[in-house]
């Protein structure tokens, strides 16, 4: 784990992605003893997640809240264990993704993630409250929910004004020191995802904390360049 500041800790879990060993980053937010976990790793990673939380000074049983940025397998993997060991915490997700996370509907990308079909049981768990756009939490100096549909309908990012940072979820990846768009085949609605990225530029931030890849500085300028470049590419594709 890496501490970003006194109230924000980036956890580190292993994940193979596109043939390479990578790291994914759930986050632990804290304020005056209140703690919130953002995203929950891959199925089978509960031990590793628990160790990372302990290294950050907390046990899974003590979390006050668990917030899921969206329904994908690598974000809700340890939800069943968290749900079981901690009946006290409040579990949050956007209404657009909650039915999938609860197991009421099959996860959207069931046939896309290569090994998802090999799991005998997909992770699911309770969602106690829905996240809404603009909602604020008194944690880590105050955070704000930004609804960013596209990757999935209920995807959210989180603004950390005190840190001038955005917790990106999977709206964008930071791979080998480059901001990149998530693969199209993992994006439910590409035009909506692009619109959400444009919308993000209206917020005040310099840093993106990416689940896939970690902390990206000078992120707004880099995001602007990425969007300009991808809109040129899309125009060229349309013209060809």
Q: Can you give the binding site for Zn ion, defined by CB under 5 A?
A: 72, 74, 170
Quick one: 58 or 107, whose CB is closer to Zn ion?
107
Q: Which two tokens stand for residue 100?
A: 């999938």
Beta strands in 103-155 (DSSP E): 129-131, 136-137, 143-147
Quick one: 15 or 194, whose CB is closer to Zn ion?
15
CB of 98 to Zn ion, least distance (A): 18
Quick one: 85 or 119, whose CB is closer to Zn ion?
119
Quick one: 64 or 72, whose CB is closer to Zn ion?
72
- 215-239 in b/e form (b: 16+ CB < 10 A) is ebeebbebbeebbeeeeeeeeeeee
H-state helical runs in 149-218: 190-200
CB of 58 to Zn ion, least distance (A): 23
Quick one: 74 or 81, whose CB is closer to Zn ion?
74
CB of 26 to Zn ion, least distance (A): 11
CA separation for the pair 163, 141 (Å, rounded): 8
CB of 24 to Zn ion, least distance (A): 7
CB of 128 to Zn ion, least distance (A): 23
Alpha-carbon distances, residue 177 vs 66, 129, 198, 219, 222 (angstroms)? 29, 35, 21, 11, 11
CA separation for the pair 191, 197 (Å, rounded): 10
């Amino acid at each position: 784990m890496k501490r970003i500041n006194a109230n924000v800790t980036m956890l580190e879990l292993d994940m193979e992605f596109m043939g390479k060993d990578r790291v994914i980053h759930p986050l632990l937010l804290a304020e005056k003893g209140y703690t919130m976990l953002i995203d929950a790793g891959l199925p089978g990673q509960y031990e590793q997640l628990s160790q990372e939380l302990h290294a950050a000074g907390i046990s899974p049983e003590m979390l006050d809240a668990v917030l899921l940025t969206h329904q994908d397998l690598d974000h809700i993997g340890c939800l069943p264990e968290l749900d079981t060991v901690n009946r006290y915490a409040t579990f949050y997700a956007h209404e657009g993704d909650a039915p999938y996370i609860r197991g009421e509907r099959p996860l959207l990308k069931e046939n896309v993630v290569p090994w998802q079909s090999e799991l005998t049981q997909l992770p699911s768990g309770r969602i106690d409250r829905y996240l809404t756009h603009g909602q604020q939490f008194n944690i880590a100096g105050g955070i704000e929910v930004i609804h960013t549909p596209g990757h999935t309908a209920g995807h959210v990012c989180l603004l950390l004004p005190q840190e001038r940072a955005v917790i990106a979820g999977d709206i964008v990846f930071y791979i080998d020191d480059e901001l990149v768009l998530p693969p199209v085949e993992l994006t439910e609605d590409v035009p909506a995802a692009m619109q959400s990225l444009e919308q993000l530029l209206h917020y005040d931030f310099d840093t993106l904390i990416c689940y896939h890849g970690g902390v990206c500085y000078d992120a707004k300028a880099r995001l602007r360049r990425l969007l300009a470049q991808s809109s040129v590419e899309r125009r060229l594709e349309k013209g060809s």
